[in-house]
Amino acid sequence: QLQLVESGGGSVQPGGSLRLSCAASGLTWEHGAIAWFRQSPGKEREGVSCLSIRGDTTTYADSVKGRFTISRDKHTVFLRMNSLKPEDTAVYYCAAGPTECWYGMSYPDDFGSWGQGTQVTVSS
């Protein structure tokens, strides 16, 4: 059974950096894709970045391209976040599921497994 546990959130000033980690025990190639989503109060859950487990291809939301990098080391998925902005403030969730990144980023319900989330706050 797949279990996802996020860590690494915190508070930083604008322009700062954080690295989120998602420990994914039980992750196999059958899961298709693993992704980071975020949600802030009053807003819908937004796909941030996705990694195809089978092909190691990556996908990013336009709002984070060039600033965020998703990577994987065995059963841990990372989200390196640079040049953080106040609008990046949200709870960040790790998710995995039998889907494709190009589709699942817009349809989070296709990811059947979710972590508990980690808070990221960007403020001066």
* pLDDT tens, position by position, 34-60: 999 999 999 999 999 999 988 779 999
Looking at residue 116, its pLDDT comes to 96
Mean pLDDT for the stretch of residues 95-121: 92
Looking at residue 39, its pLDDT comes to 97
67-97: b or e for each residue (b if 16 or more CB lie within 10 Å)? ebebebeeeebbbebeebeeebbbbbbbbbb
pLDDT for 87 beyond 80: yes
